[in-house]
Amino acid sequence: MDSQHKPVYYGTYLHLDRLLDCQEPHSEVHDEMLFIIVHQAFELWFKLILHDLDSVLALMNRDYVDESDVGLAVTRLQRIVEIQRVIIEHFTVLETMTPLDFLEFRDVLVPASGSQSVQFRLIENKLGLLHDRRVRFYSGDYWRNLSDADRARAEASEQGPSLFEVIDRWLGRTPFLNFGDFQFWRSYRGAVEGMLENDRQIILNSPTFNDTDRERQLANLEKTRESFSLVFDPDAHARFVEAGQWRLSFDSTLAALLILLYRDRPILQQPFRLLTTLIEIDELFTAWRHRHAMMVQRMIGAKIGTGGSSGHDYLAKTAQSHSVFTDLFNMSTYLIPRSLLPELPPDVERALRFVHEAGDA
């Protein structure tokens, strides 16, 4: 051990005297201690998520992001995924308390509520949840029931840049969107049209469809065809964005699609891991909100929450609408079978097999 460092005692290093003195029940009910500790544990995990999220924002919010930094960002985002799996399981511990046990001390909590967790609001904002996409359970902004200090933190976090914005810019700089004389997107479009025509013939010739079924399937196929305009036509893409149906820029959308289609190429493997990890984070926060909603319904049924919300109904709505990386989920709409993928020219294949540095051809 370095002689310059004094010996460290376990309890002193972790400040256990302070940490274990932070539980102050407001009633004599036995299970209030459980309630406090689980929610304090949530907040500790939220602090670590913010710690890693801030580091990822610093790594990725640059005009040029080194490949090693992308790998480091993926590692830290994957740790967030593992934290999310842990905090979802905390509800299992909390649910060892029965609804009757909770009712014994619920009134002493009013008006405190999970909606006052400023750290969770910071996580949502830093991921990129838009202010006007938030579900409101009363008139006014979500920070209405926060303290002045917490409100200031929440408002500041909305000024960005969010992880969504940083990833959008990073994707838009992908160097493989233009392939010189090779018109990849033209070939891809031809493959898509061939795939859709094949689907059309299957519908027309299927003996299992009656006329009504066939018309319905053909109408759905036409909607699928129209949806591909998002990746074929910049003007159509702009209309999707204006209507609030898409957030990624046109170039970023193409880049994400390219990464997903050609993920097996070495240079695209880290970007692929990054995109899929963002999807996992979004999915697990949706699962956390849903599990929270189910727990609240189990504990208080249709009663109003301690913070004044509609309880289960409000939480269920946030699970449905507070996703951030919905565009990445929906990229699967535009995937085609590997057997139909346009074959890349040898020079492009070579570029995708080695580290691509800024300024390379």
**pLDDT at res. 136:** 77
Single-letter amino acid, residue 338: R
Single-letter amino acid, residue 229: S
**pLDDT at res. 359:** 46
Which residue ranges make up each domain of the chain? 25-351
Q: CATH number of 25-351: 2.60.40.650, 1.20.58.480, 1.50.10.20, 3.40.50.300?
A: 1.20.58.480
Left (φ > 0), alpha (ψ -120 to 50) or beta: where does 66 sit? Answer: beta
d(CA 326, CA 56): 20
Structure confidence by residue, pLDDT tens digits, 239-274:
999 999 999 999 999 999 999 999 998 889 999 999
**pLDDT at res. 319:** 75
Is the CB of residue 298 less than 8 Å from the CB of residue 99?
yes
**Sequence-distant (≥ 6) Cβ neighbours of residue 126 within 8 angstroms:** 50, 53, 54, 57, 157, 162, 163
Spans of the chain, pLDDT less than 70: 1-3, 137-140, 177, 179-180, 182, 302-311, 354-361
**pLDDT at res. 242:** 95
**pLDDT at res. 138:** 61
Lookup: tokens for 260: 């997903």
**pLDDT at res. 76:** 98
**pLDDT at res. 299:** 84
Structure confidence by residue, pLDDT tens digits, 320-343:
888 999 999 999 999 999 888 888
Is the CB of residue 138 less than 8 Å from the CB of residue 173?
no
